Amino acid sequence: MNNLYFKGLDTDHQEFDQVKRIFNQEGLNLTNVFYSYTSLPLTSNDKIMFDINDEVRRSNPIGQNVNVICNSIGCNFGVLAANKSPKIKNMILISPRFGQYSKEEKRKIKSQKLTQSNPKNSFDSEKIKTIILFNKTKSYTNLAIEKIKIPILIVYSKNDVYVPKEYLNDLASKKDNIIIKDIDSSSRNLLVPKEKTLRLIKPYLK
């Protein structure tokens, strides 16, 4: 079965090639659905959904059943795709950012931002549009994941303050098709290096 990948905000061509190599070494295919999210329209959720589904079809031209693997902001678009496409049979969400934060989580995020000093971390137009799309689809994603019945594995790092852990664990407690796994990692993309995450998710890639 092929695996479709919805990348995170900062995943560039080089990082995706690294992730794809890791999958290939394990005998797994990986196809990137979007190299950039700037092609998605901002006008309405319906138009966003149409374009997402169109890209999923393009990435899966022979119409086989697929797994969807998403990272960070890409989890929004993967969830929206899985809510509509009958070809998506399993979903893995890595470090998802959608959902509601608790008061304590908001405090930790605020504290993290105050202690970060990244003067070189500029936001180009692509990143800005992706963040706007993320915020625009966030509430829609929260509703969509409630309707999805396929198996969903959610993986996040215990150290990642930007993951709404309480929301996700509460969601898993209500839905039998959702499993939560947390790991210790300081990596921005948990698929790099492979030994920490791929070993964990591989049994779920059927």
Cβ atoms of residues 48 and 136 within 8 Å: yes
On the question of pLDDT at 163 being above 90, the answer is: yes
Percentage of the chain beyond pLDDT 90 is 72
Half-sphere exposure of 149 (CA within 13 A, CB side): 2
Count up the domains in the chain and report the number.
1
Torsions phi, psi of 137, nearest 5? -95, -5
Cβ atoms of residues 89 and 66 within 8 Å: yes
Output the pLDDT for position 196: 73
Q: Which residue has the higher pLDDT, 117 or 54?
A: 54
> In this structure, is the dihedral angle defined by the CA atoms of residues 8, 9, 12 and 15, taken in order, positive or negative?
negative
Percentage of the chain beyond pLDDT 70 is 95
Q: What is the mean pLDDT of the chain?
A: 91
- From CA 96, how far away is CA 155, in angstroms rounded? 8
- From CA 89, how far away is CA 56, in angstroms rounded? 13
* Band of residue 74 on the pLDDT scale cut at 50, 70, 90: very high
The CATH number for 156's domain is: 3.40.50.1820
Output the pLDDT for position 100: 95
pTM for this prediction: 0.92
Question: What pairs with residue 67 in β-bridges?
Answer: 3, 90
Helix pair angle (74-82, 125-147), 10° resolution: 40
pLDDT digit string, tens, across residues 168-180: 999 999 999 999 9
Domain of 80, in residue numbers? 2-204
**Distance of alpha carbon 118 from the chain centroid:** 24
pLDDT digit string, tens, across residues 13-22: 999 999 999 8
Q: Retrieve residue 162's tokens.
A: 């930007």
DSSP 66: E
On the question of pLDDT at 69 being above 70, the answer is: yes
Question: What pairs with residue 93 in β-bridges?
Answer: 70, 154
- From CA 189, how far away is CA 114, in angstroms rounded? 22
On the question of pLDDT at 125 being above 60, the answer is: yes
pLDDT digit string, tens, across residues 79-120: 999 999 999 999 999 999 999 999 999 999 999 888 765 545
Tokens 């990596």, located at residue: 187
Output the pLDDT for position 121: 57
Q: How far is CA 132 from CA 76, 187, 189, in A?
A: 12, 24, 21
On the question of pLDDT at 59 being above 70, the answer is: yes
On the question of pLDDT at 187 being above 80, the answer is: no
Cβ atoms of residues 127 and 115 within 8 Å: no
